Structures are given as structure tokens and as C-alpha cells.
Chain A
Amino acid sequence: MTSVLYDVPGPKARRVSLIGSIVGSIIIAGGVVGAIVILSSQGIFNASRWEVFVNESAKDVWTQLGYGVLATLQAAGVAALIAFPLGVALCLLRISLISWIRVPTQVVLEFLRGMPVVLMILFVLLVFATSPFVAVVSGLVLYNAAIFAEILRAGIQSLPRGQREAGLAIGLRSFQSRMSIEFPQAIRRMLPSLVAQLVVLLKDTSLGYIVAYEELLRKVKLISDLEPSLLFSAFFVGAAIYILINLSVSRLAIWIEKRGSKKAAGGMASAIKTVDLEVNVPGPEKK
């Protein structure tokens, strides 16, 4: 129940914090209720705006949304599967000891990282004459491989120097030490960041609108285009679906982070985790 950042709150502090919490919650709840009242006074919650999700055309609506989810997951999945190995390769080149490999790689990475994904998607379509799907996946791969490479590099550099030295000392070559000693540790250490980037990748599939790739958000827009009154309902439902998908991916990240942090030694991490456990898992803390 304690954190290294503050003492165990006494009765007075606990009371103040409780009162503060209650007042704060009331203010937030009031704001939400107020917003709902205003919106409903404008008819945004009228049945007519929402019945399209439950009436006879609902099957079509959900089918369309389902295809959208599928297209989003497909593009994100394929892009992630290509981007990750590519990111490892780029990272290897980036930390190479040979400067004429390292420096050009850095330039390329800097370029890929600085380009808007939506522009890269458009470029690929125009220059290489690909299908929208290939254009979206390529754009996502180019950008995310660069980010994965940077994350892994940070991971490798955070490792104690002794890891590599020990590897070299027992006669491993530089490449062998990287692959069998450093990367496995770096990947484990950076898993939360990697999974967080996966969520970004998933959300970035929505940039496919530029080449008419029919992912979830594009479907939401197409449905809202059918009738102005559907604008709000379609976007609310779209937001809910996205949050649901991404939260499942993020939960995975948190789960992995927790598993990993048990093994990771030192740092404030273990201390902060105590706080997290309180928030996320109400119940007895296992030690």
C-alpha cells in the first residue's frame, strides 16, 4: 500500500483526499450529465438517429463495420509482421561499428521518421502503381520499421556494457552477441514501448482514406455520409469500436509490462508498480 514517493497518509490526509475525490467526481459527473443534457436537447439521442443500428438495416450497417474492422486488422497485422523484422535489421545497421553503414542508415531513419505516413502512402501508390492495400501497408511498414529500430536501439543502449563484453569475451562474434545476447534483452525491456507503437500503427491504418482503403474509419465516414443525422451516431459507435480494439492491445502491453517488471531489477519501476496494482487490480497484493 505504500509508495516510495510519499509516506503512508495519516487519518487527516486520508480524509482530505477522500473529500477531494468526492468533490472532484461530482464535478466531473456534473459536467458529463450537463453535456448529455445539452446534446439530447438538440436531439442527438433521438431514437431516429440510432435506430439504424438496430432496425432492419442494422445487419447491413454492422456487416459494413465488420468489414472495416477486418480491413483495419489486416493492414495493421501485415504491416506489423513486416515492420518488426525490418526494424531489427535497421537497428543492426544503425548500431553497426562501421561508420559508412551506420551514418547512411541514420540518415534514412531520420527521413522515414520525419515523413508523414499519409504522404508515404500516397507516394507509394503514385510511384509504384500499387493497390490501395499495398500502399497502406508499405507506408505503415516504412514508418514503423524506423520507429521500431529506434526503440530497439534505445533498448540495446540501456543494457549494461558488460553484457556485450561478456559475449565477446566468450568468443562470440559481434553479430552473434547482438542476436543471442543483446536483442532478446532489449526486446523484453522495450516490450511496453513496442506494443504501444503497435497501437499507433493500428490507429494509423485510418490514414488509408487518402487512397480509398476501406478500413474502419472510412466505413464510419461512408455511413455518416448517407444521412447528415447519422454523423454523430456513426462516430460515437466508431470511437467505441476503436477504443475496444486498442484497449485489448494495450491491456496486453500492461500485462507484459507487469510480467517483465517482476524480473527487471532495480529502478523506480517496481515501486511505481505498487501504485499501479492498486489502481488496476483491486484485491490482495501478492508478493
Chain B
Amino acid sequence: MKKAFITRRKSLLVAASAALALSLSACGGGGGTTTPPVASASFEAGTTMAKLNQAKKITIGTKFDQPLFGQKGLDGKPVGFDVEIGKAIAAKLGIDADKIEWVETVSANREPFIEQGRVDIVIATYTINDARKEKVSFAGPYYEAGQALLVNKDDNSITKPEDVKGKKVCSVTGSTPAKTIVEKYGAELVPAANYTACLEPLRNKQVVAVTTDNVILAGYVDKEPDAFKLASDETFTKEPYGIGLKKDDTVFRNWINDQLEEFAKDGTYKKAWEATAGKVIKTAPELPKIDRY
């Protein structure tokens, strides 16, 4: 019985983090890899696509600590929905998945890395907004998340963001959700280094809620359904995730947008979702309407 428990724990531990789950299915060979075959493509000379296609490699910036979207597994390889989208785009450029160089981007270095050409594209739960459009261009959105609240399982007093006015809410220092919950809903911010650290004061009832994008919170509910729940299934912001690239590289942006639409049609998008975030979040997303500005 004890043994069985540990095994179950272990399988939970493994299955729960998308990172481990993927490496597991890759080992077992049953899950089916989502890396699409490399297309032999040709591009008009002088475009970014042609350049990348010739170089046969691409550098993609992603998060290494965002469960379900971009998280570095123990084997050192990042996995998640963002990563799958990156692989699919690389494949369309005629680049093998193992020729992609993954670079960790955090909030502070995303724009500089794109501007300096240190990365070719950034796929890193990167919310499209006007201030950022001043510095970089965005393809997509390829996914629309929304901010939500994570509360203790036995807490029914909070169902909407207005309920946290004047109360302590934990979020990551300097993140957009942290800013929203303070500026729009008047919560008292308790900043933390990462969301896993936020779970501790929530457990101890030192804060009433943890807030960030619903997809991330859903991952924690899935891991500890007896401890936490989402305050509501509704989200109170819209966070369209875009693919960041060099400002005014319109040809490249349009090309990526075309690819995204094609992924939606040929099922690549759905497969990428199911292999990663779809393991935890049951409602599969549709590709949002591409913003061709």
C-alpha cells in the first residue's frame, strides 16, 4: 500500500509537470512526438525567412520557469506550448528541432534581446501591448490567456477581483498581473520571486489569493486539488500572447501570422496544445483572431 502510494505520488509528480511528462512520453515512445517534419521551403532572397533557412538554425527566446508554456525540464530541455509553437515555426523554416537554440528570456531582457538580435523570435507568454509595440513587433496572438485568482479550497469569500480590495494578494515582483491587481482592484501587493513561492503564504493564510494568468494557476490547482481552487472560471483581463520579433520586420511578421493560421487548419496547433498545456487544462483553445496591424 505504501509502495503504491509512493508510485502514485511519483507518477503525479511526473505527469503533473509538463516538462517531465514530455520526456517520459518520449522515452516510452507511446505519446507521439509533436515535432512536425521539416518542410523543404524556399524563400524570397533577403527576407529573414531566407536568412534563417540558409543558416539552418534559429535562436528562440522563451521562459524557463513557466509551467505548461515554457519550462526547463530536468534534462535541460525546455518544454511547453510556447516551445511547441517555436518548433513548428522552425520546421516551416526548414530547421530541425535540435538546431533550435533556446535562450531564457525574463521580463527584463525580452525587448533588449530582440533589439540586439540576440534572439530571432521570442515566444514567452509575451503579452502584446502598445508600450511594447514601440520597441518590438508582434506576430499573433497565438493564445489568449486572462488573469484569475487562486484561493484556498475552503475560502468562498472571494469570487471576483473586486473582493480582494484592501487585502493581501501575492504575485511575482514587477509582473503585469501584479500591476493590474493593485492599480485596478486596489489590492495590497505581496511580491514574490516566483509563483511557487507565492503558494506558501497562501497556504498559511498570510495572503488571501495568488494572482496571475489563469493557465498558470490551473496548473497549481491540478497539482494540489485538495488545497487550492480558482476563485472563478471567469478571467478579468485579456492577455493576448504574441510572438516578438524585430520591429518593422513586416514580411517576417506576416509570414509567421500565415503559419499560425495554417497550424490552426492542419491540426498542428491542437496537437501542440494537447501535448503540453492540454494535459492540465481541458478546454482546448481556438487560435485567436490574428492581429495584422
Contacts and interface: CB of A to CB of B under 8 A. Distances in A.
Interface of A: 47-48, 51-52, 55, 57, 60-61, 63-64, 67, 122, 125-126, 129, 131-132, 209-212, 214, 221-229, 231
Interface string B61-88: 0001101000111111000000000000
Contacts of A129: 112, 115-116, 118
B55 interface: no
Given A47-B6, A60-B75, A222-B64, A228 B196 contact: yes
B105 interface: yes
Interface stretch (B15-23, B139-147, B153-161, B251-259): B15-23
Contacts of B74: 52, 57, 60-61, 64, 223, 226
A48 B9 contact: yes
Nearest to B223: A228
A48 B112 contact: no
Which secondary structure dominates chain B's binding surface? mixed
A225 B67 contact: yes
Most buried by B among A48, A209, A221, A225: A225
A57 B224 CA distance: 22
Contacts of A209: 106, 193
Interface string B170-207: 00000000000000000000000111110110000000
Interface in B236-286: none
B112 A125 contact: yes
Contacts of B194: 221, 225
B23 to A, nearest CB: 9
B260 to A, nearest CB: 26
Contacts of A132: 109
Given A212-B106, A226-B17, A231-B197, A221 B65 contact: yes
B17 A227 contact: yes
Nearest to B16: A227
Which secondary structure dominates chain A's binding surface? helix
Contact of B73 (A52, A122, A224, A226): A226
15 contacts: A51-B10, A60-B76, A63-B76, A122-B108, A129-B112, A129-B116, A212-B105, A222-B65, A223-B74, A224-B196, A225-B65, A225-B67, A226-B73, A229-B13, A231-B196
B104 interface: yes
B64 A212 contact: yes
Most buried by B among A61, A131, A214, A228: A228
A228 to B, nearest CB: 5
Nearest to B19: A226
Interface in B1-50: 6, 9-10, 13, 16-17, 19-20
B76 A64 contact: yes
B72 A222 contact: yes
A126 B74 CA distance: 30
B239 to A, nearest CB: 20
Contacts of B76: 60, 63-64, 67
Contacts of B104: 212, 214
Given A52-B13, A63-B76, A231-B196, 10 more contacts: A48-B9, A61-B74, A67-B76, A131-B118, A222-B65, A226-B73, A226-B74, A228-B224, A229-B13, A231-B197
Contacts of A212: 64, 104-106, 109
Nearest to A132: B109
